[in-house]
């Protein structure tokens, strides 16, 4: 059953401390360290000036909006390739495939990574808030209230970044199953993540071609979420952008499942 | 009669290589069944197809009547295919717990099984630090701890030292007796098969070349070993029934009642006979004879 496979995969991931650290905890820790470091540096540069007010929710929203950057993507890829392609590396499919269906096994891995990515994003946002709190406590900066709709902005940016990262995860599943290599899935995923990010940054009009690039669709959705309705002239095609992101996720996941379902495991 | 594993016209090709070539084999439920064959005979491919790791090019495989590889049939099966491998970051206890979760087995006593295979003292060590023998023992626990009705063991003593082989052999015998599961055992260790199995099948080049009870296969060709001189004269007299067995010995493939007449004839021909002894054909010689013949045939 799928629930059994998910329990087993979750148990495995919790025991794999290396992957947990690099794939789930490193981005939040690095975010916290860089936030505090940046704060100390900025304070050194602005001696004598009054402290800048700290918006904790704003910092979390900003962190979540940037949560699908290629740098964060690299660490998510470390997580996903370890979980999704690790059994080729360790030649352990022979241990698992006799105990559960292949679709269940791969779906369980995707579900486990999805949960871990969500946890990592939440921690990433909390690390940004902690950095802000550090700034407020050490500099005496006042805490200010977020000006937008906190719940909508937090949930919206979280959901879009999670979706963008999960597309990367699904891509690494396809490449991992095809190449049977963790390194192959990591490198291909990283190159494509960086490439789409560069291409998306060059595009401005939300054409169909542009919307087909997950990074562009993701940025458009985040802009729609974070921009107050009163300042929007023409409505952006957010529905189409969301549909493209979902299509990528479902399409790549289905491709990985179909490939794995038909794969000979003579050589794992 | 119910069958634990059935293969009908099973063929598997890898490019130009035919790992299995129209193999038809029925392994009855109950007891310990051995599958013998040289490297590349198709043993592991047969098991990988049975466990759903590999798809056949053509033909059908069934486990206990259900299509091989389906979740319904696999729930009743435990398998150790070639050298067992484990995620290196898991301990033995974690490995069994993970496999129990994967199988949906909630009521397994992991400590009991670690104890049964002699790994209690190393239960919390990562499997990456295990010796080959310890990995094989953990593999056996992983096969049997969910109490399957069929256990498939592919080369369970591969890469082990003689003491380890003896230990694993005893463990398999004990588990077969205590658990009552059908065990299918592939091995290069003919002595292991002779001691543990009730019936055997011999595969060569992906085909079934012999199948039957161990005693039947092992005892089907006794031979009279003659140490005599001149050897050439003995060979001449025996014709097709004689074969050299060392520099001064000949194996005579004759029936027991023919021995006195043969010895009389040799003495009358002036041959000096230093020794004449019946060599009971064992599984090894039967196995080698069958493989040398390379003609698919049934020994049932």
Q: What is the pLDDT of residue B221?
A: 65
Assign 3-state DSSP to chain B and report helix, strand, coil percentages, each to 5: 40, 30, 30
Which of A79-88, B4-13, B178-187 is the least confident region? B178-187
Contact call for residues B6 and B12 (beta carbons, < 8 A): no
- Mean pLDDT score across all residues of chain A: 90
Partner residue facing B98 (CB), from A8, A91, A266? A8
Which chain A residue is nearest to residue B82, measuring alpha carbons?
A94
Q: What is the pLDDT of residue A268?
A: 54
In degrees to the nearest 10, what's the CA dihedral of B75, B78, B81, B86?
90
**Rounded mean pLDDT, B275-280:** 84
Query: How do the domains of chain A map onto residue ranges?
Result: 2-262
Residue B255 to residue A240: CA distance in whole angstroms: 87
Partner residue facing B81 (CB), from A86, A94, A101? A94
- Output B243 or A173, whichever has higher pLDDT: A173
Chain A hits for B82, Cβ within 8 Å: 94
Q: Under DSSP, is residue B8 helix (H, G, I), strand (E, B) or coil?
A: strand
Q: What is the pLDDT of residue B166?
A: 80
From the list B75, B249, B1, the residue with the least C-alpha distance to A104 is: B75
- Output B177 or B235, whichever has higher pLDDT: B235
Partner residue facing A90 (CB), from B52, B87, B104? B87
pLDDT tops 90 at residue A11: yes
Grade residue B103 by pLDDT with cuts at 50, 70 and 90.
confident
Which chain A residue is nearest to residue B85, measuring alpha carbons?
A92
Chain A hits for B99, Cβ within 8 Å: 8, 95, 99
From the list B234, B228, B225, B278, the residue with the least C-alpha distance to B256 is: B278
pLDDT tops 90 at residue A29: yes
pLDDT tops 60 at residue B5: yes
- Mean pLDDT score across all residues of chain B: 85
Q: What is the pLDDT of residue A232?
A: 65
Query: How do the domains of chain B map onto residue ranges?
Result: 3-218, 223-280
Say yes or no: B68 contacts chain A, CB-CB below 8 A: no
B99/A94 touch (CB, cutoff 8 Å), yes or no: no
User: What is the percent of chain B with per-residue pLDDT over 90, rounded to a whole number?
Assistant: 32
Scan residues 21-60 of A and list those with Cβ closer than 8 Å to B.
none
Distance from CA of A86 to the nearest CA of B (A): 8
- Output B194 or A155, whichever has higher pLDDT: A155
Partner residue facing B90 (CB), from A15, A93, A265? A15
Burial class (CB within 10 angstroms; exposed 0-12, middle 13-18, buried 19+) of B298? exposed
pLDDT tops 90 at residue B126: yes
Q: For residue B99, what are its two tokens?
A: 């496999």
- Which residues, listed in sequence order, are joined to residue B203 by a DSSP beta bridge? B208
From the list A132, A123, A119, the residue with the least C-alpha distance to A57 is: A132
From the list B138, B148, B79, the residue with the least C-alpha distance to B114 is: B138
Q: What is the pLDDT of residue B300?
A: 41
Q: For residue B43, what are its two tokens?
A: 């043993």
Q: For residue A267, what are its two tokens?
A: 């050589």
Cβ neighbours of residue A254 under 8 Å, at least 6 residues apart? none
Q: For residue A208, what are its two tokens?
A: 């169909």
Say yes or no: A267 contacts chain B, CB-CB below 8 A: no
Scan residues 13-52 of B and list those with Cβ closer than 8 Å to A.
14, 45, 48, 51-52
The CATH class that applies to domain B3-218 reads alpha beta
Q: Under DSSP, is residue B100 helix (H, G, I), strand (E, B) or coil?
A: helix
Q: Are strands B17-28 and B3-14 parallel, antiparallel or unpaired?
A: antiparallel
Which chain A residue is nearest to residue B88, measuring alpha carbons?
A90
Side-chain-side CA neighbours of B55 within 13 Å: the count stands at: 6
Distance from CA of A261 to the nearest CA of B (A): 10
Cis peptide before A255 (omega within 30 of 0): no
Q: For residue A248, what are its two tokens?
A: 């990528």
Q: Under DSSP, is residue A229 helix (H, G, I), strand (E, B) or coil?
A: helix
Residue B129 to residue B167: CA distance in whole angstroms: 20
Q: What is the pLDDT of residue B46?
A: 92
Side-chain-side CA neighbours of A61 within 13 Å: the count stands at: 21
Taking only the tens place, the pLDDT of each residue in B137-156 is: 899 889 888 888 889 998 88
Q: What is the pLDDT of residue A177?
A: 94
From the list B81, B89, B84, the residue with the least C-alpha distance to B128 is: B89
Contact call for residues B87 and B118 (beta carbons, < 8 A): no
Residue B119 to residue B84: CA distance in whole angstroms: 15
Say yes or no: B294 contacts chain A, CB-CB below 8 A: no
Chain A hits for B88, Cβ within 8 Å: 90
Backbone torsions φ then ψ of B98, nearest 5 degrees: -60, -45
Grade residue B297 by pLDDT with cuts at 50, 70 and 90.
very low
B88/A86 touch (CB, cutoff 8 Å), yes or no: no
A–B: how many Cβ contacts below 8 A? 82
Which chain A residue is nearest to residue B98, measuring alpha carbons?
A8
Q: What is the pLDDT of residue A112?
A: 97
- Output A122 or A225, whichever has higher pLDDT: A122
Which of A52-56, A124-128, A186-190, B192-196 is the least confident region? B192-196
Which chain B residue is nearest to residue A91, measuring alpha carbons?
B85
Q: What is the pLDDT of residue A50?
A: 79
B97/A11 touch (CB, cutoff 8 Å), yes or no: yes
pLDDT tops 90 at residue B31: no
Determine how many CB atoms are found less than 10 A away from the CB of residue A216: 25
Q: What is the pLDDT of residue A57?
A: 94
Burial class (CB within 10 angstroms; exposed 0-12, middle 13-18, buried 19+) of A35? buried
B45/A266 touch (CB, cutoff 8 Å), yes or no: yes
Q: What is the pLDDT of residue B213?
A: 82
B102/A98 touch (CB, cutoff 8 Å), yes or no: no
Contact call for residues B133 and B167 (beta carbons, < 8 A): yes
Q: What is the pLDDT of residue B299?
A: 43
A264/B55 touch (CB, cutoff 8 Å), yes or no: yes
Contact call for residues B88 and A86 (beta carbons, < 8 A): no
Q: For residue B290, what are its two tokens?
A: 């069958």
Distance from CA of A251 to the nearest CA of B (A): 25
Say yes or no: A261 contacts chain B, CB-CB below 8 A: no
Taking only the tens place, the pLDDT of each residue in B197-224 is: 888 898 888 999 888 887 777 765 678 8
Grade residue B298 by pLDDT with cuts at 50, 70 and 90.
very low
**Interface probe with B: pick from A10, A94, A103, most Cβ of B within 10 Å:** A94
**Rounded mean pLDDT, A109-133:** 95
**Rounded mean pLDDT, A201-206:** 84
């Amino acid at each position: 059953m799928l629930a059994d496979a998910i329990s087993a995969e979750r148990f495995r991931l919790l025991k794999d401390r290396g992957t947990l650290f690099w794939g789930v905890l490193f981005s939040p820790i690095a975010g916290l360290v860089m936030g505090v470091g940046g704060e100390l540096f900025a304070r050194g540069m602005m001696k004598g000036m009054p402290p800048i007010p700290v918006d904790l929710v704003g910092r979390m929203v900003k962190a979540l909006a940037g949560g699908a950057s290629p740098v964060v993507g690299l660490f998510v890829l470390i997580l996903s390739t370890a979980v999704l392609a690790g059994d080729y590396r360790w030649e352990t499919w022979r241990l698992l495939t006799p105990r559960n269906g292949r679709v269940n096994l791969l779906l369980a891995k995707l579900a486990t990574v999805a949960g871990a990515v969500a946890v990592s994003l939440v921690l990433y946002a909390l690390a940004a808030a902690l950095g802000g709190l550090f700034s407020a406590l050490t500099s005496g900066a006042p805490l200010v209230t977020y000006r937008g709709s906190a719940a909508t902005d937090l949930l919206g940016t979280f959901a879009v970044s999670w979706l963008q990262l999960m597309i990367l995860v699904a891509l690494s599943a396809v490449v991992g199953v095809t190449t049977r290599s963790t390194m192959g899935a990591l490198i291909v995923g990283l190159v494509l993540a960086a490439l789409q990010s560069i291409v998306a940054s060059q595009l401005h009009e939300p054409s169909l071609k542009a919307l087909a690039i997950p990074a562009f669709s993701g940025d458009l959705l985040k802009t729609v979420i974070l921009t107050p309705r009163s300042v929007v002239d023409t409505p952006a095609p957010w529905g189409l952008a969301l549909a493209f992101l979902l299509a990528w996720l479902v399409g790549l996941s289905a491709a990985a499942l179909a490939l794995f379902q038909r794969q000979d495991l003579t050589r794992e | 009669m119910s069958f634990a594993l059935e293969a009908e016209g099973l063929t598997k090709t890898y490019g130009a290589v035919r790992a299995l070539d129209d193999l038809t084999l029925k392994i009855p439920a109950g007891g310990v069944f051995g599958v013998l064959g040289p490297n590349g005979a198709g043993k592991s491919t047969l098991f990988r197809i049975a466990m759903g790791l590999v798809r056949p090019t053509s033909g059908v495989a069934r486990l206990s009547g259900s299509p091989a590889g389906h979740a319904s049939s696999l729930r009743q099966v435990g398998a150790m295919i070639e050298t067992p491998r484990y995620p290196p970051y898991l301990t033995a206890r974690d490995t069994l717990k993970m496999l129990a979760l994967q199988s949906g087995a909630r009521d397994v006593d992991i400590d009991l099984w670690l104890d049964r295979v002699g790994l209690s003292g190393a239960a919390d060590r990562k499997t990456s630090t295990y010796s080959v023998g310890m990995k094989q023992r953990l593999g056996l626990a992983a096969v049997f701890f969910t109490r399957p009705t069929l256990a498939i063991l592919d080369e369970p003593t591969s890469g082990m030292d003689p003491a380890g082989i003896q230990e694993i052999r005893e463990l398999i015998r004990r588990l077969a007796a205590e658990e009552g599961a059908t065990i299918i055992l592939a091995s290069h260790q003919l002595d292991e098969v002779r001691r543990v199995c009730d019936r055997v099948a011999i595969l060569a080049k992906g085909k079934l070349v012999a199948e039957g009870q161990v005693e039947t296969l092992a005892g089907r060709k006794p031979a009279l070993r003659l140490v005599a001189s001149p050897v050439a004269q003995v060979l001449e007299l025996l014709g097709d029934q004689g074969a050299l067995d060392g520099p001064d010995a000949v194996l005579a493939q004759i029936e027991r009642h023919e021995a006195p007449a043969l010895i009389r004839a040799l003495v009358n021909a002036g041959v000096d006979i230093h020794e004449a002894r019946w060599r009971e054909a064992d599984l090894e010689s039967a196995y080698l004879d069958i493989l040398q013949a390379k003609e698919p045939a049934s020994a049932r």
